[in-house]
Structure 1
């Protein structure tokens, strides 16, 4: 199965969950057909005509940018307007556009975390923590035998707390399927071969303000994870 624009948007969502974005922001898939193949991707800062030209020269079928093209609902798509021109060009060329903005800034895999790593910072905290009210449900798929380590990571970050109980999760057994592509490092199997694996689906409640820390700890378990979802 080809890697699609929808797959790309899902991968970006895993790295930079949309729930982390500021209320005024607009991140995610902004243009294109989710089912369209995206075997080659170009990454840039601004969604400009020059970036589209470079994508076409390099044979890319999708673009990921840090800054959004569309911040608010469009009243019209016109060729005499900057945003309209780019939207029309993307559609004409069949290019997809995925954006990761303030959600990437707040992500434990984002540029601020990378800068902190470069500076050797150890005691880190957000100057403006993500304080969206309410909670969410975190779903993690992990191979059998690794569930204890993943549950420990969830609990350390502050997920799975219900009343006076910690480490609260629900798990269900199942069979996961996947086909690793070239360059993948699967826990089991090898690229190019369809695989089936016994795994657990783990669910835990998580306060939204704890989400960045929980994701940081859970994503450290890379070789123990199949996928992470947030609801």
Structure 2
């Protein structure tokens, strides 16, 4: 089956493909195929004809003016009285609008999916950035809390040592006051020039100003 000539076309076929009857009659059945036609179409049609079986498929064809025409083809064998196949009947249903609408829908879906992917990537990037910032803030807060804790410990230690020093100075001062009574005369006791005379009865030599301040604190507290 090398050639399948066309022996009849109706006016709808002429209007669809813009060929005159004279131009179509005698042509090979596959003369309407174009560069976008699936190469498997011819094989499927020939196989159906040889198997004496009907066939339905959607095919991209070319009109005389170069337009792409999508058709739903139905091919069926025609038998004579003895049941022999004498010809084949083919009908073409124009589905170009539907196919174009489906193409537009696919393109829109592709654009939409692309935008969704881009937006998802942007949101994921922003989410990762926020998570990283939250991590930095959390670490900063933790370090701040640690510094506050260390500061409290340091202040407690300084306060404790200061209290111990003051307590030691007060104890020394009390011992000096209790066991050393200094007369008024500096010459008699041969007091050093750096001695401080606090009253006619008391003096402080080597304890210095800190001891005197502690003594004043004791007097103010009692």
TM-score (norm 2): 0.19
The structure with the largest helix share of the pair is 2
For the pair shown, the structure with the greater C-alpha radius of gyration is 2
TM-score (norm 1): 0.19
The structure with the largest strand share of the pair is 1
